Structures are given as structure tokens and as C-alpha cells.
């Protein structure tokens, strides 16, 4: 076998779950249709047969019960990985996530730990309508104690999930539905992708592009187009929003003097707003041009395929916005 293998994003997630379940018998999977059906997106396929119904648990259709049970398991010494089928449905269990899981360690003076992962996905780009396509990571910037991971490729999907399962803190692990069938190289050997450490996916001297989840790939496409016109973009994938690797972002801006932030969430009050504010506070003197934010418009996600595509950030929009600075 070679040093790497090609896996889809979904397969990489399954590998992470399986390896951690073999490594640690405390790892439990629970959620709607994760067992017999193998998961709505087949990420957990085959795990029930391998590990049994005590470790792969099909739950009732109740997000409150799923996350509440996971919190209890974690407080009791297990390492639950709970699945919420759509990110939209996190709104039903926000009290468990924000009031209970994220605060237990603080409220107990560090005596209580909640080592749990909540896996979910956002279906923007899959024509699932406004109630099954939402992406709202910035909401959780107001929940200290809760980590948030946003893998953009199969390698990080596996490495970040393994690292998240080994954490002693609650982690919201947000996958991207349109990436499940995307393929990429994944190391054969054991590895973890550290939380809170960004990766420079492409080096450049002219502008820094900070992109999240699906938009990392759009930023890389845009950077190749910009390069043809003599503009070399540096593309940064933070991988986790909480914790955020500010040092890598600021170091890049100090080199390029320009910044564009792109994410699938709504532009108003989104990821871009927080990062641009941080940069203005900590690196304003290094900026040679206004910061550009690309996000979704302030409307619900359209159901029409053409309208949904227009709603979403893409490489063409990135190229167009970057050119405004030259």
C-alpha cells in the first residue's frame, strides 16, 4: 500500500469513526438512522454490524433527546458522537448545546468535562429549500466553551474528527453536504489534524483570502484565475472557527496588505464580520485596501436551483471582488 489512499469526504469520516471506535470502547454513536440505515448520508454504514447496537444507537426523531443523551453520556465518562441530520435542526437543541454542554466545565470549576462531538451537515447547494440548507456558524461565537470545526476536504474531515473525538470539550463538527462525494488523498498512517491550526492552502503575495468549508475550494479555483492576470492570492483554510488561528491570518495580511473573507453563511453578522473586525483591531496599519466580505444575501435560501446557485458564493464572485481592488 502507498502512503496515501483516495477517499471521498464521507468515507474519510467513516474511517475516522471506525478507527476511534476500535481504539476506545467509550466511543458511542447515536442519532436518527445511524444504525440499520447506515446514516442519511451513509457515513455510518457498516458500523452497527461491526460494533453492535450498544455502541451504534438509533434514536427517536428528537434532536433534544439526542444531544441531551450525549451530554449525559459524556458526563458519565463515555465519548459520544451524536449526529444531527441537518444543521437547521440544531435550533431545536440550542439549549443543550449553549446552556448546558458549553458551560458545564466552567460552572463546575473544571470538575466536569463534556467530551462529546455533535456531527451535522449543511445542505446548501443540494436544492433542499430554506429549512434544510442553512449555515449559521457565527451563532456559536457567542457560546464560549463550545468548539466548532469546518473541514473542507477528506483529509481534514478524517483528521479533525479523530482529534475532536479525543478532545475533552464539546465540539460542533459541521460537515458540508455537497462535499460528501468529493475525493481527496488521505494518509494511510495514523494522524490527527489539530484544532485551532490553520493551513495555507496556496501561497501568494498580493491578497489574503480566508475561506471556510466548501468555499475553500472556490477560493482555490479563483486564485488560479487571478494568477493568470498577475494577482497571486494566498488562500487560508482555518479549519476551525472556534478556536480560530488568528496568528496565521494576521501574519498573511501583514505580508499581502489585502484581505477577502468568503463563507457560505449570511454576510450580515457572519464569519466575515467577526474576522474583519479582529483584523481592523489588530492589523489595521497593514491594510492597503478595504476588507472585502463575500457571503450569502440576507434572505432565506431559495429552493429554485438557479436562484440557489446565485445565492451561493463562488469562484467568479471572488475573482470579480478581488479585481475591484486593482
- Looking up cell 505580508 gives 255
**Rounded to whole angstroms, how far apart are CA atoms 152 and 239?**
7
Alpha-carbon dihedral sign for residues 15, 16, 22, 28: negative
State how far the Cα of 171 lies from the Cα of 131, in Å rounded to an integer: 23
For the chain, the straight-line distance linking the first and the last C-alpha, in angstroms and rounded, comes to: 48
E strand spans, the chain: 4-8, 27-31, 56-58, 79-84, 117-122, 147-149, 171-176, 183-187, 199-202, 207-211, 233-237, 240-242, 259-266, 292-296
Q: Please list the active-site residues.
A: 132
- Contact, 207 vs 254, CB < 8 A? no
CB-CB contact of 7 with 15 (8 Å): yes
* Residue labelled with grid coordinates 472556534: 242
Separation of alpha carbons 24 and 4, rounded Å: 24
Amino acid at each position: 500500500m502507498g502512503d496515501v489512499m483516495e477517499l471521498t469526504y464521507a468515507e474519510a469520516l467513516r474511517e475516522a469513526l471506525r478507527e476511534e471506535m476500535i481504539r476506545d470502547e467509550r466511543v458511542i454513536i447515536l442519532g436518527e438512522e445511524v444504525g440499520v440505515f447506515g446514516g442519511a448520508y451513509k457515513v455510518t454504514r457498516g458500523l452497527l454490524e461491526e460494533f453492535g447496537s450498544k455502541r451504534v444507537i438509533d434514536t427517536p426523531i428528537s434532536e433534544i433527546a439526542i444531544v441531551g443523551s450525549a451530554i449525559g453520556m459524556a458526563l458519565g465518562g463515555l465519548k459520544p458522537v451524536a449526529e444531527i441530520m441537518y444543521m437547521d435542526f440544531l435550533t431545536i437543541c440550542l439549549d443543550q448545546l449553549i446552556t448546558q454542554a458549553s458551560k458545564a466545565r466552567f460552572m463546575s470549576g473544571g470538575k466536569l468535562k463534556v467530551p462529546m462531538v455533535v456531527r451535522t451537515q449543511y445542505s446548501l447547494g443540494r436544492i433542499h429549500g430554506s429549512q434544510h440548507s442553512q449555515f449559521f456558524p457565527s451563532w456559536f461565537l457567542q457560546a464560549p466553551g463550545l468548539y466548532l470545526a469546518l473541514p473542507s476536504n477528506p483529509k481534514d474531515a478524517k483528521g479533525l474528527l479523530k482529534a475532536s473525538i479525543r478532545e475533552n470539550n464539546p465540539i460542533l463538527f459541521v460537515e458540508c453536504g455537497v462535499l460528501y462525494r468529493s475525493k481527496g488523498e488521505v494518509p494511510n498512517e495514523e494522524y490527527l489534524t489539530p484544532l485551532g491550526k490553520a493551513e495555507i492552502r496556496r501561497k501568494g503575495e498580493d491578497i489574503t483570502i480566508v475561506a471556510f468549508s466548501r468555499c475553500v475550494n472556490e477560493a482555490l479555483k479563483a486564485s488560479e484565475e487571478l494568477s493568470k492576470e498577475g494577482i497571486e492570492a494566498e488562500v487560508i483554510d482555518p479549519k476551525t472557527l472556534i478556536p480560530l488561528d488568528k496568528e496565521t491570518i494576521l501574519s498573511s495580511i501583514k505580508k499581502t496588505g489585502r484581505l477577502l473573507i468568503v463563507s457560505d453563511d449570511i454576510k450580515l453578522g457572519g464569519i466575515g464580520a467577526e474576522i474583519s473586525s479582529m483584523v481592523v483591531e489588530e492589523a489595521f496599519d497593514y491594510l492597503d485596501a478595504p476588507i472585502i466580505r463575500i457571503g450569502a444575501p440576507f434572505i432565506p435560501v431559495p429552493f429554485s436551483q438557479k436562484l440557489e446557485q446565485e445565492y451561493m458564493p463562488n469562484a467568479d464572485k471572488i475573482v470579480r471582488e478581488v479585481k475591484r481592488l486593482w
